[in-house]
Structure 1
């Protein structure tokens, strides 16, 4: 006799029917509503109960099985495999990683499939420095889904988005050159800039990101006179503040860069969270914008494939910098990218990351309500603004309770700045651990009671 499924069938809110079914099941596995060994409803029964086609159920189950979340047992049905358990210990909110949506079985199946198709001779050979043409075409198609239409010939594959950023900086800003960026920005970019001897100018930002008036003042300052400035900026989900520029703000920034002949390096690694109608700066100013993206934030950190879209006038220089830094893109990572972009796995995982991130924000607001930027764009990091000294005390107290946070001076262009904050990275821990961490932080940030709207953190 077959086991009855404990799952109450449902569809998630957005997407095609198969995507909605995949998202609903993946969400309930992540929440613990479905656990290892639970049986899923038979194909025909599920199609009938949800009013969808039998082929839709078959496609959804196949996607879930490729991701390693479910497994088919011959003659018995489809069962939940679940996500691999994570070790206990400290709760790390310092590293900005997406929620884990991949499973060991998916990775094993992908590598086994590649082993049958990738022979030793091919693996031992060189590929073009920027990647194989078919892989670059797949990457360009992925970028088109992230709101940027570019020719595959202008897309360079790199070994992660950090590598793509280093190539972009080496291409646009020579050693000792002038780099403008948000006053609080991605620590990896600051490390690259300082290692290359760039002169750094931090530009003030607000709840919508980089301020046009502050950028204009910086460009008119004596420090910029006679220089060929480069602007490094993250318009969507600034790291660390999570600010996102609206369309008007993006147009204003582009207008200023054109007027002052500023080259732009746009970091768009959080593009999967952006509204579909919100254009990247590279779409507004394609002639001067080097566009950095990748798959580590939208699929998995272990998939070290970065994408750098380069305007044609910069292409030869960028290829030279790319080849000097790594010879060629990783054959294995590129092959995994091609597999997952081609069979829909990457899109399915990205959709699950978005849904899981919404759950994490709901948990955050229930335990540690904070004011967030007005854009409505939510990724897997948030910002608690406060004086920098108070931020350091909070980080130290949180560590004493087993919660690890990013050092607060790390993302500041001027580490001596008295105003800063603390970034909370929500994506890495499982939900039960995240709940413990947020509860502990709530007791530190708002001791003795609930926060009222407009209050600043008490710490």
Structure 2
């Protein structure tokens, strides 16, 4: 006698095809541990009857889940959950800005089996060219096209991660007398890089859409005529504030930089699929160095960074990369090639977007809309508050076993009194995230209103 399935059939409440809604519902319950490894799933016909959907729809959904390694079919017995969840007591880490785990051992095993028959052994036997193998640059150019960015492979430099791509962009665009202008609250990795390399960094005022064009223009007017002018910014799902620029704002930023002769370094790593607004590199390809990577949109372990180069910058990039090689692992590139050809890589951002919305909705419901800055596609939220209050909040969170981003790490100017707390939602399980956020809502954190982030 066959065991009954413990799963209560449902469809995810999202705008998608019926098959996609079934995939998302099952994936949620498997990844969050509501279904355990070895649990039986309903038989195809039973599930179709219970949900009043077509048998072919169930078959399609189960096949998609099996490709991702979440379920496995056992001949003559049925379909079973393929992963086990390991829950243990640990500190809840809301400081690491990573997406939820969407890749499984089963998917990885099938991928490695596939690439073993295809990978070019020369990629492992010989040193890579400075900017990466041409076929790998062609491959990643295809990935960028999925994001609405068209670049010639010859104008693409590959690195082992997006932070290396930012580092390379800083070295290319910013000379010894240069200053990097950025949002006054920005990505802590970029701040740390600039300080380590000895580049001066200045903060520019922001509002709900990010960097203010007039504030940028005023800052650029203060440059010495001989200084290199570099603007680093994140126009889509800004880290840490989640601000996203509209088209008019993006064009205004580009216009300011064109008039002043400033280079733009655009950080585009947080976009989950083609954004509604054009990337800056599409508005000013002659002036923008676009940074991208796969760790935020696919998985943290897939360490590949990309930097698009305007005309005339290839030689400078080649010279730097010749001295300090940064090329990604050929195995990582082979994984991406396998997933592109199989269609796996196209489905992951969609699943991540669904999970981002679920987690952001949770944070918004617990903290309330008045004090929280958030975006449904972002895996982090921002609690703006004065610097002293932010420091007290971080200390109090640590005391109850919750790690949050240190307030000073996102601040260009450490004397700035308008600060806040970044809460990263992607790393913990949904259960741990819920517990952590509920504990944080009980902390005393006065004066954390949106107005403190956008003065004036």
- Inter-partner Cα distance in structure 1 for 2:429 and 2:176: 42
Shifted more, 345-354 versus 7-16: the winner is 7-16
Equivalenced residue count is 451
- 1:102 aligned residue: 103
Q: Is the 8 A contact 2:389 2:445 kept in 1?
A: no
Shifted more, 125-134 versus 407-416: the winner is 125-134
Q: Is the 8 A contact 2:158 2:306 kept in 1?
A: yes
Shift in CA distance, 399/258, structure 1 to aligned 2, threshold 3 Å: same
- Inter-partner Cα distance in structure 2 for 1:187 and 1:296: 16
CA shift digits 1:355-408 (9 cap, x unpaired)? 111111121122222447889553011111111111111100100000001110
- Inter-partner Cα distance in structure 1 for 2:73 and 2:394: 46
Shift of 1:268: 0.5
Q: The residue matched to 1:313 in structure 2 has which SS?
A: coil
Q: Is the 8 A contact 1:282 1:289 kept in 2?
A: yes
1:80 aligns with 2:62: no
Shifted more, 39-48 versus 263-272: the winner is 39-48
Shift of 1:255: 0.9
Q: Is the 8 A contact 1:268 1:291 kept in 2?
A: yes
- 2:320 aligned residue: 321
- 1:145 aligned residue: 146
Shift in CA distance, 441/374, structure 1 to aligned 2, threshold 3 Å: closer
- 2:173 aligned residue: 172
Gap runs ≥5 in structure 2: none
- Inter-partner Cα distance in structure 1 for 2:450 and 2:156: 45
- 1:311 aligned residue: 310
- Inter-partner Cα distance in structure 1 for 2:134 and 2:123: 15
- 2:227 aligned residue: 227
CA shift digits 1:290-335 (9 cap, x unpaired)? 1001110011111001111112221222233233321633112111
- Inter-partner Cα distance in structure 1 for 2:211 and 2:341: 36
- 1:126 aligned residue: 127
How high is the TM-score relative to the length of structure 1? 0.90
- 1:135 aligned residue: 136
Q: Is the 8 A contact 1:383 1:423 kept in 2?
A: yes
Q: Is the 8 A contact 1:244 1:377 kept in 2?
A: no
Q: The residue matched to 1:321 in structure 2 has which SS?
A: helix
Gap runs ≥5 in structure 1: none
Shift in CA distance, 105/326, structure 1 to aligned 2, threshold 3 Å: same
- 2:365 aligned residue: 366
Shift of 1:157: 1.9
- 1:272 aligned residue: 272
Shift in CA distance, 363/287, structure 1 to aligned 2, threshold 3 Å: same
RMSD between superposed Cα atoms in Å: 2.7
